[in-house]
A = this chain, B = another copy of it.
C-alpha cells in the first residue's frame, strides 16, 4: 500500500492511499480519515460509497464529514467507484457505465468480469487491507453512500448484516433493475437474464427475504433524478411489507449534489455512531 498524501485535519489525519488489488486486477486508490485517538485504541469504521462519475476524492473534498467523524471517533473510508486503468475495459463517453460506474457488483460477463468486481473489493479485500494498516475495530463496521453508492451500501448491508451494524444512504438508487441509468450497465456486467440482477437490487433483495435492522435515507425533493431514477416510494413500500424500520426524510428544496449530502452528513454520522458504539 502506497501513501499518496496525508494531512492533519480536524485533529486527525486525512490520507490518500493506493494499492494493487487482486480482486479488480488494477491499482485502486482510496482515502481514509482517522480521528485523533489513543495509542493502541481501535475505532469503528464507516465506509462511504460514492455515486456515478466520482472517485475517492469528491466526498473527501466536499462531504464535510471530518468534523463530526472526529467528534464521534469514526474512521471514514472513501473508496473509488470502479476499477480504472489502461487495461480496464471502459466506455469513455458513457458516464453510466465502466469507469466511475462500477455499481458495486461482481460482473459475470466478459470482458468486465476480470476487473469489475467492486462488491468483493468493498466487502472483502479492502476491509482486510484496512485492518492491517489502520486502527480499525473490525467488529464495528457501518456503510453508507450516495446515489449509486447508496444502492451499493444498502445491497451490501442486506447481504452482510453480520459484518455491517449500520447502513444509511443519501438519495439512493433503490431499484436499479428498473431504473433507466442502471439497466444497461446491469445487462453488460451481469448478462441479459434479469434473474441475476436480483442479487444487486435493494427492493428485490428485500422481496427475496434479505433483512437489515433499519435504514436511514435522506432524499431531496428538488433532486433532478427523483422521479425517473430514484423513486424512494419503492423502498418505502418494500420496507413496510418486510417490516424493516426505515427513516425516510424528504428534504424540501434539496438537489442531488454535495450541497445536499454535506447538509445532512452530521445526521448520518450521528446515526451510525449510535449503532457502532463499543
Contact = CB atoms under 8 A, between A and B. Distances in A.
Contacts of A200: none
Contacts of A255: 7-8
A137 interface: no
Nearest to A9: B259
A220 B61 CA distance: 19
A22 interface: no
Contacts of A258: 61
A10 B66 contact: no
Nearest to A58: B61
Contacts of A61: 61-62, 258
Contacts of A220: 8
Contact of A7 (B7, B9, B11, B259): B259
Contacts of A9: 259-260, 262-263
Interface in A230-278: 253-255, 257-260, 262-263, 266
Shortest 3 CB-CB contacts between residues of A and residues of B = A9-B259, A7-B259, A8-B253
From A8, A253, A260, A263, residue with most partner B Cβ within 10 Å: A8
Interface string A60-73: 01101011000000
Contacts of A62: 61-62
B67 A11 contact: no
Copies in the complex: 2
A222 interface: yes
From A14, A64, A66, A255, residue with most partner B Cβ within 10 Å: A64
A66 B259 CA distance: 9
B8 A222 contact: yes
A14 B259 contact: yes
A240 B78 CA distance: 46
B14 A263 contact: no
Interface in A68-100: none
A254 B8 contact: yes
B64 A11 contact: no
Contacts of A254: 7-8
B67 A7 contact: no
B262 A7 contact: no
B64 A263 contact: no
A257 B260 CA distance: 24
Interface in A6-61: 7-11, 14, 61
A14 B64 CA distance: 15
5 contacts: A7-B254, A7-B255, A8-B220, A64-B64, A66-B262
Nearest to A10: B263
